[in-house]
Structures are given as C-alpha cells and as structure tokens.
Amino acid sequence: MPRRNLEILKKVHNIARTKKPDSYPERFFVPEDKGCWAIDWPEYDPPYFVHDSVLKKSMAGEIEAEDAYKNINQRFSKVIHRIAHDIEGRPLNPCGRTGIRGRGLLYQWGANRAVDIVMVTVHPRTGLLCFLAIKRADNGMNAVVGGMVDKGESKVTAALRELGEEVPQFKNFDQRLVKRMYRKYSDDYRNTDNSWIETTVFFAFLPKDKFIDTFYGLDKSEVESVSWIPVSEGLALHAGHERYVYDAARYFIERNHGPIEVIRQCKFILNI
C-alpha cells in the first residue's frame, strides 16, 4: 500500500482497529498494511459479534433485523456515497478492516448517523480558549457532547437535544450560536467491518456573559462529569474527538480574527 494511503488510514481508522468496548470479543489483529479491503488477505478471519441488546431490539422490530442487509441492493454512505459488500451482502466498512464482523453495539447495518457538538468559550478568568468536555461513563474518557440521530430528526435538532440531555444547563441553548462544520467517518471503538458511525460535527460558541462552570443534574449512567478544558496540543479524547476540537478552534479564530491571546495559545493548530 502506498505510504500516503497508510498515513491516511492511521489517522482516520486507528481506534476502530485497536480499541473495543468491554462487551466485544478480542479483535482479530489487523496490521496497518492489511487494513484496506483492496489488500488480498485470505487468512483474515474475524469473529462475528452482535450485542444481545441489539438482537433484542431487532427481534422486537425496533431497529433493523439481523438479516435486513439481504433486502438492501445498495447501501449508501453520506461520506463515501457508495460502498462495497461482502459475499453475503453485508456492507463493508469504507475505511477498511476492523477485526470484528457483525453489528456489535450499533443498530444499523452500514452507516449509523451521529452528531457531535464542540462548544467553545474564552474563559473569563484565564482568557484561554476552552472546550466543553464530558467524561463518559462507559469508558472514562473525555469527549465532546454527541450521540446518535433519532429517526426523522434533523442533525441540528439532534445536536441540541444531546447537548441538553448531557449538560442540562444548556437545555435551551440558542440555535443561532450553532454552526455545522462538516460530516465525516467517526473512528469509534464500536465500529465493525459491517457497521460504523458517520458523524456531523457542529461548532457552538458560548459568549462570556453566558459562561457557567457549575454543572449538575447529570445522568451519571452516561456522563460522570462536565468541565471546561483548555485547547492544547496532545489532547487524547474519545473516538479521536481532539481533531474536532482543533478544527473548532481554527473555525473560531478564522471567524473572529483572534483574539491575539487565543492565536498564541493555538499556534500549534494554525501552523504559524
């Protein structure tokens, strides 16, 4: 595989090859040079896994049936547009092998729609650009606010709903302060060979006069804590969310022409 393609694969498809929820079986080891489906690898034999909670919802008719892929001629991805299928008709992860087949914890075959919202503010006491971080209850990692899109729900509505559910103090956040940045494949530890997450990432700005740093009423089954974390080099967040944070910081600086203190703080992002 060309070196450039390997570097791209490492950036967008690292967590999905190497990490997993506790409920998943061990992933079949996928070295970087075997990640792409175009690479012939007859020895590749990953375990098939669908979580019991997904099977129960399938049998109850709440989500796609386990064999729903058989009735789908072409599964379209909002990121890749058209994707390949395995010999049994299951959609194949457009970013390559993950070491696990099946749906895992995901409800849909193929792309599962999600949203992430990066809220930033200039901290009134430190002057630093900070982002709103939640500490996830499932893996203890910091992340930006986000979740899955409900059926029939618009992306921005889903983003605002997730914001209000995870941080109740922002339940009625002003939609005018929310802007769509982009849509992309999410390098999530729940992804499998046949099901994966594609997210729409939103930017939100909290003005100084609206600043709060006391958070309560959290659903502890999902969010352990909420905090403002300064944007800095070397962040390591859930599902590669640090990339979203850096993009949001650049978005903020480019549209606000500073302030100079924030430009200095984020110099490593701007490559200046």
Q: Report the number of distinct structural domains present in the chain.
A: 2
Report the pLDDT value the prediction gives residue 81, as an integer from 0 to 100: 62
Q: Is there a single domain that holds both residue 93 and residue 156?
A: no
Report the pLDDT value the prediction gives residue 97, as an integer from 0 to 100: 97
| One pLDDT digit (tens) per residue for the chain, 272 residues | 444 444 445 556 889 999 999 999 999 999 999 999 999 999 999 999 999 999 999 999 889 888 888 766 555 566 766 788 899 989 999 999 999 999 999 999 999 999 999 999 999 999 999 999 999 999 999 999 999 999 899 999 999 999 999 999 999 999 999 999 999 999 999 999 999 999 999 999 999 999 999 999 999 999 999 999 999 999 999 999 999 999 999 999 998 877 889 999 999 887 74
Q: Is there a single domain that holds both residue 147 and residue 264?
A: yes
Last-in-domain residue among 52, 77, 110: 110
Last-in-domain residue among 110, 126, 151: 110
* DSSP code string of 138-162: TT--EE-EEEEPPTT--HHHHHHHH
Report the pLDDT value the prediction gives residue 189, as an integer from 0 to 100: 94
Q: Is there a single domain that holds both residue 132 and residue 245?
A: yes
Q: How many CB atoms lie within 10 A of CB 207?
A: 10
Q: Is there a single domain that holds both residue 48 and residue 103?
A: yes
Sign of CA dihedral 207, 212, 213, 219: negative
Q: Is there a single domain that holds both residue 80 and residue 204?
A: no
Domain containing 140 equals 113-188+196-270
Q: Is there a single domain that holds both residue 102 and residue 184?
A: no
Strand partners, 122: 129
Q: CA dihedral in degrees (48, 184, 143, 148; nearest 10)?
A: -60
Last-in-domain residue among 75, 110, 145: 110
